[in-house]
Structure 1
Amino acid sequence: MKKEKGLLIVLSGPAGVGKGTVCGALRTKDTDISYSVSATTRAPRTGEVDGVNYFFKKKEEFEEMIEKDEFLEWAKYVDNYYGTPLENVKKTLNEGQDIILEIEVQGARKVKERYPEGVFIFLMPPSLAELRKRIEGRGTENAELINKRMTVAREELDMMKNYDYVVENDEVEKAVERIQAIVTAEHCKQERLIEKYKQLVEVE
């Protein structure tokens, strides 16, 4: 019987909302979900490892990958490039493995154009004040950049209407549980199982 194709799960939301933290917690709880490592031209933050958190690229390297069409999506965000290498995503899905992409809102829009059957989840902060507090708490940006991120965040919050689901990241554990529930429900959707049913009938 033909193996069911994996789910492409896209998690996005404003910078500072906790996408990386939630994805990290999800990976420790749900080993059935593979994690797509993005590429970026921004500098590594303390504790980040190349090839684990991101593939850290020079601007010239990233632009060469764009020219070769090696990204599922890519975007320029606050003066840095971010993108999802395509080959690993295709391979993982074809093997029947679920894969989650932790990406910016711009990138999610591009993925939806190429993979409309994906599962799109918007991670929302409890409030804009809490979002600013989290960004400031990272200690990696100056006041000007923080203000720029907050302006972009207000615009991005308006984009949640384009997503299938919205998960509030009030507590990481609760956010992870909600995402797991979404993934379980998506696997049970009729349109995802109809081909499997047809194969069962043919076998009979």
Structure 2
Amino acid sequence: MMGSLFIVAAPSGAGKTSLVNALVAGHDDIRLSVSHTTRPPRDGEQDGRDYHFVSQDVFAQMRGNGDFLESATVFDNSYGTSSKAVEALLEQGLDVILEIDWQGAQQVRNNFADSTGIFILPPSKATLEQRLRDRGQDNEEVIQRRMRDAENEISHYVEFDYLIVNDDFTEALDKLTAIIIAKRQALATQKHKQSALITELLA
């Protein structure tokens, strides 16, 4: 049985990475797709775990070969999701999370009509900016650019299927988990999974 593909997007600082990591950590049958990127690793990040860190030349070659399910350039760095890696996980019956931006989400929807889009919102602009500062990873110029770009990112929320406000982390995680569980109970999924039971009940 094929797994389901979920897209999780949000403006930088909304907390999507923390939510997705907590979701994956609590469920053995959910996998986070590891993207390729041309940006340098941040402190504590590991190649193959957080991202596949590659050069601009390697990334361009992969893009030219059609290896990416989606790819985009964000903050002067390129990101891409390997089609083969995602398909291999789905074929194992695992649910796959793509943590990408709205540009990538549009590309994925063109290839996976049954994908489920989830958008994460911060509770306010002030909270978003404070979270960016608390990370201690960006200078003032980068923080201000991320705040400007956040408005454009947020404007695409209408392109997604679900909307979660990440104010209280535990509540937001519960809502994210509920969406995954609900998708697994969809008729198309359960019809295949429970085919033997349905056949018996209708015999």
User: 2:26: which partner in 1?
Assistant: 29
Q: TM-score, normalised by structure 2?
A: 0.92
User: 1:172: which partner in 2?
Assistant: 169
User: 1:152: which partner in 2?
Assistant: 149
- Does 1:63 pair with 2:60? yes
Q: How many positions carry a matched residue from both structures? A: 201
- Does 1:119 pair with 2:98? no
Q: Residue deviations 1:65-106, cap 9 Å, x none?
A: 101111110000110001111111001111211111111121
In 2, Cα distance between equivalents of 1:146 and 1:98: 33
User: 1:43: which partner in 2?
Assistant: 40
User: 1:192: which partner in 2?
Assistant: 189
Per-residue deviation, 1:113: 1.2
In 2, Cα distance between equivalents of 1:197 and 1:143: 54
In 1, Cα distance between equivalents of 2:187 and 2:25: 29
Per-residue deviation, 1:34: 1.2
In 1, Cα distance between equivalents of 2:138 and 2:193: 50
Per-residue deviation, 1:138: 1.9
* 1:109 counterpart (106, 113, 118): 106
- For structure 2, which runs of at least 5 residues remain unmatched after alignment? none
Aligned-pair Cα RMSD in Å: 1.8
Q: TM-score, normalised by structure 1?
A: 0.91
CA 26–198 in structure 1, closer or farther in 2 if over 3 Å, else same: closer
- Does 1:161 pair with 2:134? no
Q: Residue deviations 1:42-79, cap 9 Å, x none?
A: 11111111111111111111111101111110000110
User: 1:139: which partner in 2?
Assistant: 136
Give, as a single letter, the amino acid of the residue that structure 2 aligns with 1:124. Answer: L
* Secondary structure of residue in 2 paired with 1:82: strand
- For structure 1, which runs of at least 5 residues remain unmatched after alignment? none
Percent identity for Structure 1 against Structure 2? 37
* 1:10 counterpart (7, 10, 18): 7
* Secondary structure of residue in 1 paired with 2:49: coil
